[in-house]
Amino acid sequence: MLEGFLVKAIGGFYYVESSSHVIYECRARGVFRKKEVSPVVGDHVEIELDAQGKGTVCTILPRKNSILRPPLANLDLLCIVSSVCDPQPNFFVIDKFLAMSEHKGIEPVLLITKSDLQSPEEIRRIYRHAGFRVFVVNTMEDGDLTEVKELLRGKVCAFTGNTGVGKSSFLNRLAPQLALKTANISQKLGRGRHTTRHVELFRLEELDCYVADTPGFSTMDLARYDVILKEDLQYCFREFAPYLSDCRFTGCSHTVEKGCAVLKALDEGKIEPSRHESYKALYEEAKQIKEWEL
């Protein structure tokens, strides 16, 4: 029995890396299918090796967190990527990912790209004010590249963001050896995009970290992401925390109530209007979820 880290899953094969960075190709034991759990990338697993060196995943060790789309486990950091423009930042999408991260107990940070095209000041101000770490980069100059590298050191991290924001371009910059296909290249090759993507964690030796470039999503996909109950949503907006116990009514939804301390903080400029807008929209979404759908 050997313990390892699942770094890649493709077509029913699992690639498990040992502590000495040897990678074993494995199948999963049938019992997982019956139990409706299957190993996902990021899992710490135990494998058994046969005489030919082929492995079988026997045990999935307890996960500290997991996300569904793409399937990944044990993330230390979710790096939410947005460009200043082209495409325009979608605050609702960013806030939804931030909320999901908080809900799952994964530390979120914001990475702003394409700062060569437009000033990142406003978006940086909003998210710093809301209590997040914000990093700015572009492909022309370093920006906060060094800071991002330090942040990644020793961690397992996923990058997520709307299609075209520049995730692959940034990851290529971070680790040229990864040579992920950027839009330009795949167009040149005339390949359809999003066709051959699989889930994989890339090890960056220099930083002793693992990164996953998750396929770009369109806002349409978002509705199918993990759901947050409306009662839990308030705890997924970190800047609301100082006010939650001061609302006049217990069970306050922080959307319309008189005597709501969150709304008061919003009026006083302590909470960003766009953040509260996203909260209200997510609250409405959460209200639509019926118990039986969970």
Q: Under DSSP, is residue 9 helix (H, G, I), strand (E, B) or coil?
A: strand
Strands (E) across the chain are located at 2-10, 13-17, 23-28, 44-49, 55-60, 66-67, 72-73, 77-83, 107-113, 134-136, 156-160, 199-200, 202-204, 209-213
Q: Is 85 in the site for ligand GTP (CB under 6 A)?
A: no
Among residues 254, 271, 272, 278, which is the contact residue for Zn ion, using CB under 5 A?
254
Residue 114 touches which of ligand GTP, Zn ion, none (Cβ within 5-8 Å per kind): ligand GTP
Angle at 93 between CA 227 and CA 200, to 5 degrees: 75
Of 132 and 279, CB closest to Zn ion? 279
Q: Is 168 in the site for ligand GTP (CB under 6 A)?
A: yes
CA–CA distance, 104 with 58 (Å, rounded to integer): 26
Which residues, 6 or more positions from 236, have their beta carbon under 8 angstroms from its beta carbon?
98, 99, 100, 102, 103, 228
Residue 157 assigned to a binding site: no
Residue 117 touches which of ligand GTP, Zn ion, none (Cβ within 5-8 Å per kind): ligand GTP
Among residues 28, 260, 266, 271, which is the contact residue for Zn ion, using CB under 5 A?
260
CB of 212 to ligand GTP, least distance (A): 12
Q: Is 130 in the site for Zn ion (CB under 5 A)?
A: no
> Most distant CA pair in the chain: distance in Å?
70
Residue 219 assigned to a binding site: no
Q: Is 8 in the site for ligand GTP (CB under 6 A)?
A: no
CB of 39 to ligand GTP, least distance (A): 25
CA–CA distance, 113 with 162 (Å, rounded to integer): 12
Q: Is 271 in the site for Zn ion (CB under 5 A)?
A: no
Q: How far is CA 9 from CA 6, 28, 70, 82, 216, in A?
A: 8, 11, 11, 27, 18
Among residues 93, 100, 112, 252, which is the contact residue for Zn ion, using CB under 5 A?
252
H/E element, 167: helix 167-174
Q: Is 276 in the site for Zn ion (CB under 5 A)?
A: no
Angle at 217 between CA 211 and CA 218, to 5 degrees: 160
Q: Which residue is nearest to ligand GTP (CB)?
A: 216
Residue 262 touches which of Zn ion, ligand GTP, none (Cβ within 5-8 Å per kind): Zn ion
Residue 199 assigned to a binding site: no
CB of 242 to ligand GTP, least distance (A): 35
CA–CA distance, 248 with 261 (Å, rounded to integer): 8
Residue 165 touches which of Zn ion, ligand GTP, none (Cβ within 5-8 Å per kind): ligand GTP
Query: What letter does residue 153 receive in the DSSP assignment?
Result: T
Residue 242 one-letter amino acid? P
Q: Under DSSP, is residue 263 helix (H, G, I), strand (E, B) or coil?
A: helix
Residue 115 assigned to a binding site: yes
Among residues 130, 165, 263, 266, which is the contact residue for ligand GTP, using CB under 6 A?
165
CB of 232 to Zn ion, least distance (A): 15
Chain residues that interact with ligand GTP, rule: CB under 6 A: 113-114, 116-117, 138-139, 161, 163-169, 182-184, 216
Binding residues for Zn(2+): 247, 252, 254, 260
